[in-house]
């Protein structure tokens, strides 16, 4: 049965169905009750006189209870309609309190007079409570908000003037100001005096933080706003305490006295009803036994049906709870229960699946972070090694120069000095390349729409003299895409690829070639840079994008250019990878996401 409900009926429909069945059973019980008590109608004719005598008192008691209930609703929830309803009920009670035939017959005028007196006192106290609460509401809804908003604006102006130097103090001041409003509302919701202390502490804290700043028009106005805020808050507290006192002391006492007089009237009615009840007891008891039998039977049916409905709800919830606990602990392998219906349980299942996907992504990010840490360690080691090498070389040549100079061999010493200069130039180039790498993604990375046809056309024109001297041919195909990227950094990627092609020419007599072409799919623009150089063995196609890595150490370069290109492409949410060329050369494959196009 439970599995059928899970497969066939959604959660909301199950709950509604349960209510409908329960309501139907209750209706059947009501019908049985109606049938039983209809047969007793003749017997109840004997208590018509008693009913007439007790009707007025019952109405009075009901109206008093309703008026008190509406008053409490208004006091604690603030519903204006309840406040108006108190006045309506009061007027009705004052009109009907003395005109009951039953009261005349019972000789209870003195009791009614006292009840009327306490009722009037109760209503007067309520009117005062209403006035105090309206004043408090005005303070909370208008003045609190005005002071808090103006205070926040002044602090934000102070932040803009002070800048980053005192941002922390300004932030503390803003937090303290916001805590005033938070604790004020907490007090008004809970009437807990600790929140008054907390709000006053926040006011003093804010005032103390203002004192840390040089006095100017902002701090002066901020102090004035804070003083007004404090006055409004203390007035609201006083208003609240005032109407709470009226509610808990004055109104409670008058309500008690009114209800006490009502109970005295009820006692008079009860004493007379006992005589009639004894006559009806035998007849009613027989009807009650019959009604009890059917009521128990229907209640058992409801209990069984409720058990099935409950199981159909709690079983999947327990499974999902277990799943969410596993997911909350970081598990990426938690089993997600399957519920085919797209109801609330289906939504929870989908949420659990999303949670699992995020855990998987978190685990992947953690692995990526660990890999980045490993790369950072390797980077530190490599940088220290590559920076140290030119220094060691320079120191060695300087020692030789000293020795040659002491021997009077100036010409040989000058030759060695040229090698020292070259070593230092290499170290300078290495440092400049490292600085360029560090700038990627931090500065000058504004993006815009770039027409690669125009960008690479200008690039080819600017490089024409250099390419002619190197006997190198650069071909840029037409119909290249328009991408959303940083122009200077994108151009830097192509400059590094061209520089790489110039360095690794296979046949200098034949000359080198680089062709730039493109194609696209649903998500990416693909740019292919194909050369006819020495090519890149498969085992090195990932390594060449590492810092300081060079295929041939005898070829000039620092080994940073392709690392810069890789970082630039990552900034653009794209990628660059090396592939084998069609004729033994290399292909640098760039991808730019279409989703960033405007």
Between CA 497 and CA 500 the distance in angstroms is: 5
Q: What is the pLDDT of residue 595?
A: 64
Say yes or no: 479 and 554 in one domain: yes
Q: Which phi-psi region, left, alpha or beta, contains residue 513 (left: φ > 0; alpha: ψ -120 to 50)?
A: beta
What pLDDT, on a 0 to 100 scale, did the predictor assign at position 158? 79
- CATH code (residue 401): 1.10.287
The reply to whether 471 and 532 lie within a common domain is yes
Determine the pLDDT at residue 534: 83
| DSSP annotation string for 65-95 | HHHHHHHHHHHHH--HHHHHHHHHHHHHHHH
Is the pLDDT confidence value at 354 over 70?
yes
DSSP 102-117: HHHHHT-HHHHHHHHH
- What is the span of the domain harbouring residue 413? 344-439
Q: Are residues 588 and 459 in the same domain?
A: yes
| 360 and 427 share one domain | yes
% pLDDT > 90, the chain? 6
Q: What's the pLDDT at 81?
A: 85
Cα–Cα distance, 516 to 301 (Å, whole number): 80
For 141-155, 517-531, 553-567, which range has the lowest pLDDT when averaged over its residues?
Answer: 553-567
Asked whether the predicted pLDDT for residue 443 surpasses 70, the reply is no
- Helix (H) / strand (E) element for 588: namely strand 586-593
Residue 520 CB coordination number (10 Å): 13
Q: What's the average model confidence in pLDDT over 129-139?
A: 73
Average pLDDT over residues 516-528: 92
* pLDDT number for residue 515: 92
Cβ count near 332 (within 10 Å): 16
Query: What's residue 7's pLDDT?
Result: 55
The predicted model gives 114-135 an average pLDDT of: 78
Q: Which of 106-115, 362-371, 376-385 has the highest mean pLDDT?
A: 362-371
Of the candidates 407, 439, 471, which is a domain's last residue? 439
Q: Are residues 449 and 590 in the same domain?
A: yes
**Both 400 and 524 in a single domain?**
no
- Domain end, chosen from 439, 470, 491, is at 439
- The pLDDT-based confidence of 545 (bands split at 50, 70, 90) is confident
- Indicate whether 106 pLDDT > 60: no
Question: Is residue 480 located within the same domain as residue 435?
Answer: no
Phi-psi region of 548 (alpha: psi -120 to 50; beta: other; left: phi over 0): left
**Of 323, 312, 462, 397, nearest to 7 (Cα)?**
312
Interval 193-251: pLDDT, tens: 888 888 888 888 888 888 888 778 878 888 888 888 888 888 777 777 777 777 777 77
Measure CA of the first residue to CA of the last residue in the chain; give whole Å: 55
The answer to whether residue 27 scores a pLDDT higher than 70 is: yes
**HSE of 281, CA atoms in CB hemisphere, 13 A:** 7
pLDDT digits (tens, 9 = 90+) for 254-298: 777 777 777 776 777 677 667 766 776 776 777 777 777 777 877
- Calpha distance 532→540 (Å, rounded): 17
Indicate whether 583 belongs to any domain: yes
Summarize the chain as % helix, strand, coil (round to 5). Answer: 75, 5, 15
Longest dimension (CA), the chain: 145
d(CA 173, CA 208) in angstroms, rounded, equals: 9
In a domain, 187, yes or no: no
pLDDT in the model for residue 530: 92
Q: Please choose, from the candidates 493, 492, 501, the residue with its C-alpha nearest in 3D space to the C-alpha of residue 470.
A: 501
> Under DSSP, is residue 341 helix (H, G, I), strand (E, B) or coil?
coil
Task: Tell whether the model's pLDDT for residue 463 goes beyond 80.
Answer: yes
Question: Do 393 and 487 belong to one domain?
Answer: no
The answer to whether the CB of 589 falls within 8 A of the CB of 493 is no
Total count of residues recorded for the chain: 598
Among candidate residues 414, 439, 464, the one where a domain is terminated:
439
Same-domain pairing of 489 and 584: yes
Quick check: is 538 in a domain? yes
Is residue 530 assigned to a domain?
A: yes
Residues 549 and 502 in one domain: yes
Spatial distance between the Cα atoms of 51 and 47, rounded to a whole number of angstroms: 6
| Residues 513/584, Cβ–Cβ less than 8 Å | no
pLDDT at 247 (0 to 100): 73
Q: Which DSSP string do the residues of 514-552 spell out, in sequence order?
A: EEEEEEE-SSEEEEEEEE-SS---GGGTTGGGSTT--S-
Q: What mean pLDDT comes out for the span 457-462?
A: 89
Phi-psi region of 533 (alpha: psi -120 to 50; beta: other; left: phi over 0): beta
Give the single-character DSSP code of 592.
E
Alpha-carbon Rg for the chain, nearest whole angstrom, is 44
Question: Is the predicted pLDDT of residue 424 greater than 70, yes or no?
Answer: no
More confident residue, 44 or 369: 369
Same domain, 352 and 428: yes
Q: What string of DSSP letters covers 435-478? A: HHHHHTTTSS---EEEEHHHHHHHHHHHTHHHHHHTTEEEEE-S
> Are 366 and 412 found together in one domain?
yes
Q: What confidence score (pLDDT) does residue 597 get?
A: 45
In what order do the strands lie in the sheet containing 512-520? 472-476, 512-520, 524-531, 586-593, 575-580
**pLDDT at 525 exceeding the cut of 90:** yes
Give the best-scoring range by mean pLDDT among 40-44, 104-108, 196-200, 551-555. 196-200
User: Structural domain tally of the chain?
Assistant: 2
Query: What would the pLDDT profile of 395-406 be if each residue is shown by its tens digit?
Result: 776 777 777 777
Average confidence score pLDDT of the chain: 75
Q: Is residue 94, in this structure, part of any structural domain at all?
A: no
Spatial neighbors of 135 by CB under 8 A, at least 6 apart, are: 239
CATH of the domain at 525: 3.30.565.10
pLDDT > 70: percent of the chain: 72
| Statement: residue 171 has pLDDT above 80 | yes
Q: At what angle do helices 109-138 and 217-245 cross, to 10 degrees?
A: 170
Predicted confidence band of residue 589 (pLDDT cuts 50, 70, 90) = very high
Whether residue 196 is contained in a domain is answered as no
- 400 and 360 Cβ atoms separated by less than 8 Å: no
User: Which tens digits make up the pLDDT trace of 468-520?
Assistant: 888 888 999 988 999 998 888 888 889 888 888 888 787 777 778 899 999 99
**pLDDT in the model for residue 591:** 94
- Quick one: pLDDT at residue 598? 42
What is the number of other CB atoms lying within 10 angstroms of the CB of residue 222? 25
- Distances, alpha carbon 263 to alpha carbons 71, 90, 225, 266, 344, in Å: 20, 19, 54, 5, 50
Q: Determine, yes or no, domain membership for 505.
A: yes
Is 591 strand, coil or helix? strand
Q: Is residue 52 included in any domain, yes or no?
A: no
Q: How many CB atoms neighbour CB 374 within 10 A?
A: 10
C-alpha dist (Å) from residue 527 to 122, 461, 519, 533, 549: 85, 19, 7, 18, 24
């Amino acid at each position: 049965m439970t599995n059928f409900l899970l497969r066939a009926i959604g959660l909301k429909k199950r709950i509604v169905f349960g209510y409908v069945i329960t309501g139907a059973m209750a209706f059947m019980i009501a019908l049985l009750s109606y049938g039983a008590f209809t047969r007793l109608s003749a017997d109840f004719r004997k208590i018509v006189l008693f009913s007439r005598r007790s009707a007025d008192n019952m109405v009075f008691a009901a109206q008093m209870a309703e008026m008190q209930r509406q008053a409490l609703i208004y006091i604690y929830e603030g519903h204006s309609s309840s406040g108006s309803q108190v006045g309506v009920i009061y007027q009705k009670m004052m009109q009907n309190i003395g005109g009951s035939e039953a009261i005349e017959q019972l000789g209870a005028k003195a009791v009614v007079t006292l009840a009327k007196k306490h009722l009037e006192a109760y209503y007067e106290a309520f009117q005062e409570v209403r006035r105090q609460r309206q004043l408090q509401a005005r303070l909370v809804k208008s003045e609190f908000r005005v002071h808090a908003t103006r205070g926040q604006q002044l602090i934000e102006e102070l932040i803009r003037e002070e800048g980053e130097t005192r941002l922390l103090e300004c932030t503390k001041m803003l937090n303290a100001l916001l805590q005033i409003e938070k604790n004020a509302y907490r007090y008004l919701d809970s009437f807990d005096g600790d929140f008054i202390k907390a709000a006053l502490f926040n006011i003093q804290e804010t005032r103390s933080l203002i004192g840390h700043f040089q006095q100017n028009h902002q701090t002066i106005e901020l102090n004035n706003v804070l003083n007004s805020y404090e006055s409004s808050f203390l007035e609201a507290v006083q208003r609240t305490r005032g109407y709470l006192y009226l509610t808990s002391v004055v109104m409670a006492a008058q309500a008690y006295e009114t209800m006490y007089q009502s109970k005295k009237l009820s006692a008079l009615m009860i004493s007379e009803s006992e005589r009639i009840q004894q006559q009806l007891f035998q007849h009613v008891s027989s009807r009650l036994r019959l009604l009890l039998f059917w009521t128990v039977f229907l209640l058992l049916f409801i209990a069984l049906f409720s058990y099935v409905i409950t199981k159909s709800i709690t079983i999947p919830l327990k499974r999902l709870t277990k799943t969410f606990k596993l997911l909350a602990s970081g598990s990426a392998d938690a089993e997600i229960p399957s519920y085919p219906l797209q109801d609330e349980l289906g939504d929870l299942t989908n949420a659990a699946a999303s949670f699992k996907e995020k855990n998987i992504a978190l685990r992947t990010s953690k692995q990526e972070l660990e890999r980045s840490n490993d790369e950072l360690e390797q980077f530190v080691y490599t940088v220290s090694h590559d920076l140290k090498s030119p220094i060691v070389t320079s120191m060695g040549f300087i020692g030789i120069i000293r020795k040659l100079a002491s021997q009077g061999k100036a010409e040989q010493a000058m030759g060695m000095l040229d090698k020292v200069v070259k070593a230092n130039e290499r170290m300078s180039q290495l440092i400049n390349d490292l600085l360029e790498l560090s700038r990627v993604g931090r500065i000058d990375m504004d993006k815009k729409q770039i027409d690669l046809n125009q960008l690479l056309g200008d690039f080819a024109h600017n490089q024409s003299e250099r390419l002619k001297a190197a006997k190198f041919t650069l071909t840029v195909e037409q119909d290249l895409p328009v991408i959303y990227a940083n122009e200077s950094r994108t151009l830097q990627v192509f400059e590094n690829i061209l520089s790489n092609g110039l360095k690794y020419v296979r046949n200098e007599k034949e000359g080198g070639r680089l062709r730039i072409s493109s194609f696209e799919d649903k998500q990416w623009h693909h740019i292919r840079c194909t050369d006819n150089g020495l090519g890149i063995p498969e085992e090195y196609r990932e390594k060449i994008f590492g810092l300081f890595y060079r295929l041939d150490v005898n070829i000039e370069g620092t080994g940073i250019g392709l690392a810069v290109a890789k970082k630039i492409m990552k900034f653009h949410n794209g990628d660059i990878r090396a592939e084998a060329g069609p004729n033994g050369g290399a292909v640098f494959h760039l991808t730019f996401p279409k989703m960033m196009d405007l």
